[in-house]
A and B are shown apart, each in its own frame.
Chain A
Amino acid sequence: MSHDTPHDALPTGMKRWLYTTNHKDIGTMYLVFALIMLLTGGAMILAVRAELFQPGLQLMQPDLFNQLITLHGLVMVFGAAMPAATGLANWMLPMMLGAPDMALPRLNNWSFWILPPAALLLVTPFILGLAGVGTGAVDTGWTMYAPLSIQTGWGMDFAIFSVHMLGASSILASINVIVTILNMRAPGMTLMKMPMFAWGFLMTATLLIIIMPVLAGGVTMVLMDRHFGTHFFNAAGGGDPVLWEHIFWFMGHPEVYVLLLPIAGAIPHVLSAFARKPIYGYKAQVYSLWAITFLSVVVWAHHMFTSGMSVGGQLYFMYSTMLISLPLAVLFFCWIATLWRGAMSFEAPMLFALGFVTLFGWGGLTGLVLADAAADAQYHNAYFLVAHFHYALYPTTVMGVMAAVYFWLPKWTGHMYNERLAKVHFWVAFVGMNLTFLPQFFVGLAGMPRRIPDYALQFAEFNMLSSVGSLILGVSHLIFIYVVIQCVRGGAKAESRAWEGANGLEWTLSSPPPYHSFDVQPVVR
């Protein structure tokens, strides 16, 4: 256990980070890794948006374009969004639950250090491809549909092994989180007294343990089809390409909620703190998180309406998908009711939280129309879909995480960040995000398919707007980096309770907190 490491004997330099079993160090590494991946995936998609600025092929050929969109998807989901949430969990769970550290500190170290090699494995063929070696990175779209993923070059093999490692990492991290939450809570903290954030992450970890192995099995089948003569996805040998779609979306749909649930857990803390009012409907929110978790694993085939499905299948997946709107509506209701008749102030975490609630609201509502199995033919794989899921995912995985980071940054660093710049960050991101994705709804309705490097002339104006928006959105993250560096290096001293309305065990610790969060567990009444 990490208790027995005396503070003065800490290794220094690289070794400290390599060997650390401390939840704060590992949390920091997760967050920095996620930020690097966010910038990597962002740079990739900025290159894509630059190509799409006007019709014609200007900057790249289709094969490079396909690699970029594929890597963007995989890097953002598995490299940025999930590690960012895990980083928050690592930092905050022991502090919020009144524990000294995570339950399995060495496993924690391991689950982080699998990530960087996995990410390298994913992008190595891309870099080699640019240098003229090999066939480039995986270029099948992040959905990796067979038989395209059987046919394509060696980038797919790299991606398969990378997915195995990313999967292993997130399974290990999830095991750690579940054990921490179930075994390490402060005396008196029953499950139903637990912070919302712990609930959100508990649900996410549960989902991950179920879905990531299925994806790992699926990509292994792809690997076997590619190299060992099996025919899981080939009709010639009795297989079926549509089987891959089922396997992928059995993982892929819950994955969306994997990204959402930790944020849906963190946001109530922020809203409550800045409305200076307790969380509304705690139990209702917890039950909704359960409902979402359950429903998320039984609706996957609504991603496959156009692949041909029986009438019964279409109706089932349509109506069950619509059902998800109910628990989500409960969450929205509770979030807004938490604000209602509070005493609000609008610091950066609050702005990001409200931005999340608003934009994710629109993302969710547009998802409702996509659930219609017949109308889906018009939306599916068109830019409308792209716009929809970016309205769902950007507010969640970036704005939601930003809200949490700004909220807890004073706790982590012991300094207040530059509030003015942080607000600028929010507004630039808010404008950039809407300018990027709102036009994509229209261009999708007009008939532009996704994943094309070149498009017909009637789509030109909206694409140009979207490209301009993406540049603004990209710049907003640079402001964020500046604010964080400034905050780490100094600034006004943060109180233990950095925000007036903040509640929870983490705010009883000093800012920054001691190396071991709670050596003596607090007692919760």
Chain B
Amino acid sequence: MKLRNGLPLLGGFLGALAAGSTWADYRWNFPDPATPLAADTLHVHNLFMLIITVIFVAVFAIMAYSMFVHRKSRGHEPATFTGPRSRVQWLWALVPFAILLFIDYIIFGIPAYHAVLTDADSRNGAQMVVKVTGLQWKWQYEYPEEGIKFVSAMSTPREQINNQAPKGENYLLEVDNPLVIPVGKKIRFITTSTDVIHSWWVPAFGVKRDAVPGFLREFWVRVDRPGVYRGQCAELCGKDHAFMPVVVHAVPEAEYLQWVGAQKTAMTAQADSAGREWTQAELMEKGKAVYEANCASCHQPGGEGIPGAFPALAGNKMMKAPALDPAGRLVRGGHLDRVMNGAPNTAMTAYKDVLNDAEIAAVVTYERNALGNKTGDLVQPAQVKALRGSKT
């Protein structure tokens, strides 16, 4: 029988993989662990795979032997037993189950117990906190201590996805604003979501945690070596679930502090630029770029939308209605409100935290004066800045 030859081969193949270290290649096993948790998981995984492969091979070697020897074509006479009859046979029948229980609860059970406790230990001694918010289909990162908050979206161009351009090295696993964290520090991550359930996953960290709308979840990470780590959203969250990568830059402490400084400087610069008066041409130019990057995938490059799924912006009556009231307050349900706050229960995301003041003002100005619309309205960054705001 071919089956007889096939099975041990299959088992041996898997056994070789389970050895782990002999197959250091990324594509055959978990990526090289970067955190204690991932190292633990890899260790447990290798052990598990080895054991189950041994069980598999042992059990099916017995079956294969029987299939070869106890055949009618070899003239084997069938036995008639239907269960263990003597004490020795009972013993033989029970031994496999004792072994199984030993493997389950001792060999697997004890390391698993420790791993669960380690995994859950985000409460103690975390040196910093990062809040991760899942949005359809981006991640928002917030450093509460530093007041830094930004959105991280996939930066792979649509042309690569649609096979109109050659695919880059980190195809689908690259973002505009990566998460930056210091190495060697215990970091508590808090996850949540504003729309549907997402799941934040970086394989090299050995963590995956769901982001549940309205609720907090937490986990911890301590990255031991600097590097760029990539992962993806791991819970189906709608249309662009595949295009919601996670990129983490783990850098030495000094470099991290430098990055934090740069972020703060950029925030000040952004606030300054939002303070001045912009010309229509400036707003339109910036607005077009923002539109292509954020809006065109649903509302389409020409603003015609997709009937039944995404509304057309061309000729949309929302564009003709005012975006701000005379007192400079946001018109509820108006154009700017939709852009900043999204539309509930639809795929329209709130861009308030994704785009800065100038970008929001620019894209709204662009949408009101292009894509078949011509209102002549300008929205100034300063007006957007006044809407959100810090405590006065």
Q: Do chains A and B touch in the complex (CB under 8 A)?
A: yes
Q: Which A residues are closer than 8 A to B by beta carbons?
A: 55-58, 62-63, 66, 132, 134-135, 139-141, 145, 147-148, 150-152, 234-236, 240-242, 275-284, 306-308, 311, 314-315, 318-319, 322-323, 325-326, 329-330, 332-333, 336-337, 339-346, 351, 354-355, 357-358, 361-362, 365-366, 368-369, 371-375, 377-378, 380-382, 427, 430, 434, 438, 442-443, 445-447, 449, 451-459, 461-462, 501
B100/A377 in contact, CB under 8 A: no
B97/A446 in contact, CB under 8 A: no
A355 contact set on B, CB distance < 8 A: 3
Q: How far is the CB of A519 from chain B (nearest CB, A)?
A: 32
Q: Which of A151, A368, A430 contacts B108 (CB 8 A)?
A: A368
Which chain B residue has the least Cβ–Cβ distance from A452?
Answer: B242
Q: Which of B41, B82, B195, B345 contacts A282 (CB 8 A)?
A: B82
1/0 per position for B181-195, CB-CB distance to A under 8 A? 000000000000001
A55/B167 in contact, CB under 8 A: yes
Across chains A and B, which 7 residue pairs bring their CB atoms closest together, nearest first? A235-B214, A374-B115, A452-B242, A447-B203, A308-B217, A365-B52, A341-B79
A318 contact set on B, CB distance < 8 A: 112, 116
Q: Besides A62-B242, A380-B234, 4 other CB < 8 A contacts?
A: A306-B234, A341-B79, A381-B201, A456-B171
B206/A377 in contact, CB under 8 A: yes
Tell whether B339 is near chain A: CB-to-CB under 8 Å: no
Q: Which of A235, A278, A369, A455 contacts B49 (CB 8 A)?
A: A369
A240 to B29, CA, bound (A): 36
Chain A contact surface mostly: helix
A278 contact set on B, CB distance < 8 A: 80, 82
A445/B96 in contact, CB under 8 A: no
B345/A276 in contact, CB under 8 A: no
Q: How far is the CB of B332 from chain A (nearest CB, A)?
A: 18
A284 contact set on B, CB distance < 8 A: 83
Tell whether B334 is near chain A: CB-to-CB under 8 Å: no
Q: Which of A135, A275, A336, A446 contacts B27 (CB 8 A)?
A: A446
Q: Which of A148, A275, A282, A345 contacts B237 (CB 8 A)?
A: A148
1/0 per position for B55-74, CB-CB distance to A under 8 A? 11001101100110011110
Tell whether B119 is near chain A: CB-to-CB under 8 Å: yes
A452 contact set on B, CB distance < 8 A: 232, 241-242
Q: How far is the CB of B115 from chain A (nearest CB, A)?
A: 3
Which chain B residue has the least Cβ–Cβ distance from A143?
Answer: B236
Q: Which of B109, B173, B208, B346 contacts A381 (CB 8 A)?
A: B208
With contacts A56-B162, A308-B209 known, is A372 near B112, CB below 8 A? yes
A311 contact set on B, CB distance < 8 A: 116-117, 120
B83/A377 in contact, CB under 8 A: no
Which chain B residue has the least Cβ–Cβ distance from A314?
Answer: B116
Q: Which of B48, B78, B161, B233 contacts A375 (CB 8 A)?
A: B48
B199 contact set on A, CB distance < 8 A: 306, 381
A354 contact set on B, CB distance < 8 A: 3, 63, 67
A307 to B70, CA, bound (A): 49
Q: How far is the CB of A452 from chain B (nearest CB, A)?
A: 4
Chain B residues within 8 Å of chain A by Cβ, number? 103
A340/B116 in contact, CB under 8 A: no
A462 contact set on B, CB distance < 8 A: 27
- From residue 230 to 260 of chain B, which have CB atoms closer than 8 A to chain A? 230-243
A462 to B1, CA, bound (A): 28
Q: Which of B7, B48, B79 contacts A342 (CB 8 A)?
A: B79
Q: Which of A63, A147, A372, A451 contacts B213 (CB 8 A)?
A: A147
1/0 per position for B110-142, CB-CB distance to A under 8 A? 001101111110000000000000000000000
Q: How far is the CB of B331 from chain A (nearest CB, A)?
A: 24
A7 to B117, CA, bound (A): 69
B40 contact set on A, CB distance < 8 A: 374
Tell whether B30 is near chain A: CB-to-CB under 8 Å: yes
B38 contact set on A, CB distance < 8 A: 378
Tell whether B378 is near chain A: CB-to-CB under 8 Å: no
Q: Which of B83, B104, B163, B171 contacts A325 (CB 8 A)?
A: B104
B235 contact set on A, CB distance < 8 A: 145, 381
A372/B108 in contact, CB under 8 A: yes
Q: Which of B67, B163, B308 contacts A57 (CB 8 A)?
A: B163
B234/A275 in contact, CB under 8 A: no
B117 contact set on A, CB distance < 8 A: 311
Which chain A residue has the least Cβ–Cβ distance from B62?
Answer: A336
Which chain B residue has the least Cβ–Cβ distance from A281?
Answer: B83
Q: Which of B45, B161, B240 contacts A56 (CB 8 A)?
A: B161
With contacts A63-B309, A343-B71, A354-B67 known, is A374 near B41, CB below 8 A? yes
B78/A276 in contact, CB under 8 A: yes
A346 contact set on B, CB distance < 8 A: 1, 67
Q: Which of B100, B242, B345 contacts A455 (CB 8 A)?
A: B242
Tell whether B86 is near chain A: CB-to-CB under 8 Å: no
Which chain B residue has the least Cβ–Cβ distance from A321?
Answer: B104
Q: How far is the CB of B153 from chain A (nearest CB, A)?
A: 16
A358 contact set on B, CB distance < 8 A: 3, 7, 60, 63
B31 contact set on A, CB distance < 8 A: 446-447
A235/B201 in contact, CB under 8 A: no
Which chain A residue has the least Cβ–Cβ distance from B235?
Answer: A381
A454/B172 in contact, CB under 8 A: yes
Which chain B residue has the least Cβ–Cβ distance from A351?
Answer: B3
A381 contact set on B, CB distance < 8 A: 199, 201, 208, 234-235
Q: How far is the CB of B49 from chain A (nearest CB, A)?
A: 7
Tell whether B282 is near chain A: CB-to-CB under 8 Å: no
